[in-house]
Amino acid sequence: MGKLFEDSEMHLDQEVLFEYEGEAYCWQGHYEVKQNGEEPDYDYCGDSEQEVEIETTKAILKFNEDTNDWDEVTPTQSMIYEVCFQIERYHL
């Protein structure tokens, strides 16, 4: 059995581009990546889990093709879920 570990890393003032319902969006804010698990040793390959936690959402912007600019929108829970998914893909 390997040594247990917990680790976290805070990411401040980040931007995450994502697509939601066929539209381009940009999330701005702070998030934390938490990882815990068990380190490998001579008879165990190791295991870990990763979790993304949104600390602060400063803004979610939607690209407006008519004005060729970004407009602020009210975030929904499913938008935040998509942001977490994109962050997890980046950190894996």
Tokens of 53: 């936690």
Domain that holds residue 26: 4-91
Q: Is 80 exposed, middle or buried (0-12, 13-18, 19+ CB in 10 A)?
A: middle
Give the chain's domain count: 1
pLDDT tens sequence across 32-58: 999 888 887 777 777 778 899 999 999
Which residue type is seen at 32?
E
Supply the mean pLDDT for the chain.
Answer: 91
Identify the residue whose tokens are 């690209």: 63
**How confident is the model over 76-82, as a mean pLDDT?**
95
pLDDT of the residue at 14: 97
pLDDT of the residue at 58: 97
Residues facing 15 on adjacent strands: 28
pLDDT of the residue at 37: 86
